[in-house]
Amino acid sequence: MSVATAAMRRPRWLLFVTLAVTIVVVDQLVKAAIAANYQVGVPVAVVGDFVRIDVSHNQGALFGLFQGSAVIFGVGSLAVIALIVWYESRAGGSALVTLALGLLVGGAVGNLLDRLRLGYVVDFVDAGIGGWRWYTFNVADAAISTAIVLLVILALLPPDRSATG
User: Out of 27, 54, 114, 123, which one is annotated catalytic?
Assistant: 123
Mean pLDDT of the chain: 85
Does 27 qualify as catalytic in the annotation?
A: no
Summarised one tens digit per residue, pLDDT across range 96-154 is 999 999 999 999 999 999 988 998 899 999 999 988 988 899 999 999 999 999 999 98
Q: Tell whether the model's pLDDT for residue 7 goes beyond 70.
A: no
Q: How many CA atoms lie within 13 A of 127 on its CB side?
A: 6
Q: How far is residue 103's CA from residue 84's CA, in Å, rounded to a whole number?
A: 11
Q: Is 13 left (phi over 0), alpha (psi -120 to 50) or beta?
A: alpha
Q: Where are the domains of the chain?
A: 12-152
Question: pLDDT value at position 9?
Answer: 53
> What average pLDDT score do residues 80-102 get?
86
Task: Report yes or no on whether pTM surpasses 0.95.
Answer: no
- Inform me whether the pLDDT recorded for 157 exceeds 60: yes
Of the listed 27, 114, 126, 141, which one is catalytic? 141
Confidence at residue 165, expressed as pLDDT on a 0 to 100 scale? 45
According to DSSP, residue 55 is labeled E
Q: 84 by DSSP, 3-state: which?
A: helix
Average pLDDT, integer, range 12-16: 90
Q: For the segment 34-43, what is each residue's pLDDT rounded down to a tens digit?
A: 999 999 999 9
Nearest to 138 by CA among 16, 33, 65, 48: 33
**CB atoms near residue 121 (< 10 Å):** 26
- pLDDT score of 152: 95
Helix (H) or strand (E) holding 124: strand 121-129
Q: Is 141 a catalytic residue?
A: yes
